[in-house]
Amino acid sequence: MSAVEDTTAELQAVADRVIDQAGSGEQIEAFVSRGGETEIRVYQGDVEHFVSAQAEGIGIRVIRDGRTGFAYAGTLDEAAVAEVLAEARSNVEFGTVDEFAGLAEPDGVEPTEQTLWNDTLAEYETDRKIDIAKKLEKLSSGLDPRVRVDDSNYADAWGETAVASTRGIRQSGRENGCYVSVSTLADDGEGDDAETQSGFGFSVGKSPDEFDLDRAAREASERATCLLGATKPASKRVTVVLDPFVTAQFLGVISSTLNGEAVVKGRSLFADRVGDQVAASGVTFVDDPTNPQAYTSTDVDGEGLAARRNVLIEDGVLKQFVHNSYSARRAGAASTGNATRGGFAGTPGVGCLALSLVPGERSQAEIVAGIDDGLLVQQMQGLHSGVNPVSGDFSTGAAGLLITNGEIGAPVREFTIASTLQKMLLDIAEVGGDIDWLPMRAAGMSLVIHDITMSGN
Partner 1 sequence: MIDQDVLERVLAGATSTGADFAEVYAEDKRSTSAGLDDGRIEQVTSGRDRGAGVRVISGETTGFAYTSDLTEDGLNVAASAAAAAARQGGGGVKTVGLTRAAAHRPNAIVHQPDAIEKAAKVDLLTRMNEAARSYGPEIVQVSAGYGDSTKRVLVANTDGVLADDEIVRTLLRINAVANGDGGMQTGYQSMGHTVGFEIFDTVDVEEMAREAARQAITKLAARPAPSGEMPVVIKHGTGGVLFHEACGHGLEADHIQKGASVYAGKVGKQVANPMVTLVDDGTMPGEWGTLGIDDEGQRTQRNVLIEDGILTDYMWDFLRSRKDGRPQSGNGRRQSYQHLPMVRMTNTFVMNGPDDADDIVASTPKGVYVAKLGGGSVNTASGDFVFGMTEAYLIEDGKITEPLRDGNLIGNGPKVLQDIDMLADDFAMGSPGTCGKDGQGVPVGDGQPTLRVKALTVGGTAS
Residues 269-288, interacting with partner 1 (CB under 8 A): 269
- Any contact of residue 49 with partner 1 (CB under 8 A)? yes
- Any contact of residue 341 with partner 1 (CB under 8 A)? no
The distance of closest approach from Cβ of residue 453 to partner 1 in the complex, given in angstroms and rounded to an integer, is 4
Of 219 and 434, nearer to partner 1 (C-beta) is 219
Of 359 and 397, nearer to partner 1 (C-beta) is 397
290: nearest Cα among 417, 111, 164, 443: 111
Candidate ranges 63-71, 311-319, 369-377, 425-433; the one touching partner 1 (CB under 8 A):
63-71
- Any contact of residue 125 with partner 1 (CB under 8 A)? no
φ/ψ of 43, rounded to 5, equals -140, 125
Q: Give the C-alpha separation, 132 to 208, whole Å.
A: 8
Q: Give the C-alpha separation, 436 to 123, whole Å.
A: 28
Candidate ranges 6-14, 80-88, 249-257, 334-342; the one touching partner 1 (CB under 8 A):
80-88
* Eight-class DSSP state of 2: G
- Any contact of residue 165 with partner 1 (CB under 8 A)? no
- Tell me which residues in 343-372 interact with partner 1 (CB under 8 A): 345, 347
Instruction: Please identify which residue in 235, 281, 293, 363 interacts with partner 1, judged by CB under 8 A.
Output: 235
Instruction: Please identify which residue in 3, 18, 88, 242 interacts with partner 1, judged by CB under 8 A.
Output: 88
- Any contact of residue 83 with partner 1 (CB under 8 A)? yes
Residue 233 · residue 356 · CB < 8 Å? no
Q: Give the C-alpha separation, 180 to 239, whole Å.
A: 33
Residue 190 CB partners (closer than 8 Å, separation 6+): none
| Residues 91-120 as x/- pattern, contact with partner 1 by CB under 8 A | x--xxx-x----------------------
336: nearest Cα among 306, 381, 371, 377: 306
Residue 291 · residue 435 · CB < 8 Å? no
Instruction: Please identify which residue in 102, 252, 359, 392 interacts with partner 1, judged by CB under 8 A.
Output: 392
**Whole-number CA gyration radius for the chain:** 24
Of 116 and 185, nearer to partner 1 (C-beta) is 185
Could you list the beta-strand ranges (E) of 167-262: 170-188, 195-205, 236-242
Instruction: Please identify which residue in 175, 415, 441, 442 interacts with partner 1, judged by CB under 8 A.
Output: 415
Of 57 and 432, nearer to partner 1 (C-beta) is 57
Q: What is the dihedral of CA 204, 209, 213, 215, to 10 degrees?
A: -70
